[in-house]
Amino acid sequence: MTANLIDLRVAQRTDCEALASIHSEAWLGAYRGLLDGVELQRMVTRRNAGWWRGALARGVDIRLLNVADEPVGYATFGSCRLKSVRAQGEIYELYLRPEYQGLGFGRRLFEDVRAELDGRGLEGLAVQVLSDNAPARAFYRALGGQLAAKTFYQSAEKRLELVIYVWSVLESNGHRSQPG
């Protein structure tokens, strides 16, 4: 008998504590030293279980990744909010607990969300990444993301550069078209 150790599913209200914990661990691991420490802690604290319950109540699409029944990652996604790129779908966030990074779980979560967006008929996909977050940039480049644009984010007293990666539409023959 084979057990499925990886479960990707829609997040539910009972997952809010886990989502807050994953967010906290992932953000502290990814952004410590890149963002102002006080502001980073404020942002992490704000994303408590209540915030996640509110997000679910507002209809935010959240995919939860479980490994051996333990919540270890999530992605939020939907229609593209970025006017500077030609994409209809966007992954707003994709985070894993640090100990699960680099093991293929992020790729699995990315591909699952991408398939969901493709299934909704949203053509093209975009992701914003903090320019100084080298591991995230390498991750999205390894998945075939093409640098399409840059923008900026004001964090405390620091102006931070964001880069936008895009993936084009899956054509009917199974090959991706070139980004436009």
Question: Would you place residue 4 in the very low, low, confident or very high pLDDT band (cuts 50, 70, 90)?
Answer: confident
Q: Find all residues with CB under 8 Å of 88, minimum gap 6, and list them.
A: 79, 80, 117, 122, 123, 124
pLDDT tens readout for residues 15-43: 999 999 999 999 999 999 998 899 999 99
Give the pLDDT of residue 171. Answer: 34
Site of tokens 């959240």:
62
Give the pLDDT of residue 3. Answer: 59
φ, ψ at 115 (rounded to 5°): -65, -40
Structure tokens at 118: 């493709």
Quick one: average pLDDT of 88-94? 98
Shortest CA distance to 114 belongs to which of 56, 165, 161, 71?
165
Pick 155 or 97 by higher pLDDT. 97
pLDDT tens readout for residues 47-77: 999 999 999 999 999 999 999 999 999 999 9
Partners of 128 in the β-ladder = 164
Whether 87 has a pLDDT exceeding 90, the answer reads yes
C-alpha span between 84 and 26 (Å, rounded)? 27
At the fourth CATH level, the homologous superfamily of domain 6-167 is Gcn5-related N-acetyltransferase (GNAT) (3.40.630.30)
Q: Find all residues with CB under 8 Å of 78, minimum gap 6, and list them.
A: 60, 61, 89, 90, 92
- b/e string for 63-73 if b means 16 or more Cβ within 10 A? bbbbbeeebbb
- Count helices and strands in the chain by DSSP H and E runs: 5, 7
Q: Does the model's pTM come out above 0.85?
A: yes
Partners of 151 in the β-ladder = 162
